[in-house]
Amino acid sequence: MSRQSEFLQATRDMLPLLVGAMPFGIIFGALAASAGLSAGQTLGMSLLVFAGSAQFIVISLLGTGAGAAVLLLTTLVVNLRHALYSATLQPFVRHLPARWRVPLAFWLTDEAFAVVQHRYAAADSSPYKHWYFLGAALAMYLNWQLCTLIGVLFGQSVPDLAAWGLDFAMLATFIGVVVPMLRNRPQVAAALVAGAVALACHGWPYKLGLLAAAASGIAVGLLLELHVARAEELA
């Protein structure tokens, strides 16, 4: 595929994920004002930080009067999962110059990661898969800015916006991404263990339970894979 077709294919593949992220961005834009952020600061946070779950947690903590150290530590822990994404995609972007790697890293989100790792896993050896990465990343970025803006402009005119439960859109999106990946027992085990540990450790400070859950899921998946491989060798 050419550069343009990789780029355009990515924006098409991102469409469902953009739909799923929309309510999240709009609610963020609407709720940030009640946490004391100005319209400029709300848009600035989306433009510069570009990390939905961290942005949400920070504005909810701001409302409780938490200190800067707690806010930044929470940002760090909530976003540490992106280091795993960075590691997963590193073998595919290592050949690119820094002028590519820096912006692609800045735009690395859950949603972009989901479609991009799928594209890199495809068997064809297209030399322009980083254009696919760029398309997915930019689509997500523009969508997030637009939704934040809509939330800032119109959020106050919809009463009880947060009470509708539009956040379910994100759950449905992630379910739609994960379930088709569960093609073998180690993958299923990784998902179940991660989910169970996340529930068990939800009370840990700074969202550390998320990290414990991810680490446990990965460890169990890997151990099971090694176990299956050894059983096949013996058979």
Q: Which of residues 126-165 bind other proteins (CB under 8 A)?
A: 159-160, 163-165
Q: Which two tokens stand for residue 183?
A: 């093609």
String of contacts with other proteins for each residue 25-64, x by CB under 8 A: -----------xxx--x--xx--xxxx-xxx--x------
CB closer to other proteins out of 34 and 187: 187
Q: Are 17 and 45 in contact (CB under 8 A)?
A: no
Q: Are 14 and 115 in contact (CB under 8 A)?
A: yes
> CA–CA separation, 106 vs 163, rounded Å?
32
Q: Which two tokens stand for residue 118?
A: 């799928």
Interface with other proteins includes 199 (CB under 8 A)?
yes
Interface with other proteins includes 122 (CB under 8 A)?
no
Which residues 68-97 are close enough to bind other proteins by CB under 8 A?
68, 71-72, 75-76, 79-91, 93-96
Find tokens 């760029």 and name the residue.
Answer: 134
Interface with other proteins includes 114 (CB under 8 A)?
yes
Interface with other proteins includes 110 (CB under 8 A)?
yes
Through-space distance between the first and last CA atoms of the chain, rounded to whole angstroms: 42
Please identify, among the stretches 3-11, 127-135, 138-146, 167-175, the one whose residues bind other proteins according to the rule CB under 8 A. Answer: 167-175
> CA–CA separation, 45 vs 57, rounded Å?
13
* Among positions 7, 11, 20, 143, the unique one binding other proteins when judged by CB under 8 A: 20
Phi, psi (5° rounding) for residue 80?
Answer: -60, -25
> CA–CA separation, 222 vs 235, rounded Å?
20
> CA–CA separation, 45 vs 32, rounded Å?
10
Interface with other proteins includes 218 (CB under 8 A)?
yes
Let me know if 111 is exposed, middle or buried by CB neighbors in 10 A (0-12, 13-18, 19+): buried
> CA–CA separation, 235 vs 52, rounded Å?
48
CB closer to other proteins out of 53 and 143: 53
* Among positions 26, 27, 139, 190, the unique one binding other proteins when judged by CB under 8 A: 190
CB closer to other proteins out of 76 and 153: 76
**Nearest distance, CB of residue 172 and other proteins, angstroms:** 3
* Among positions 101, 126, 128, 208, the unique one binding other proteins when judged by CB under 8 A: 101
> CA–CA separation, 89 vs 117, rounded Å?
7
Interface with other proteins includes 228 (CB under 8 A)?
no
Interface with other proteins includes 217 (CB under 8 A)?
yes
* Among positions 99, 123, 125, 180, the unique one binding other proteins when judged by CB under 8 A: 180
CB closer to other proteins out of 138 and 191: 191
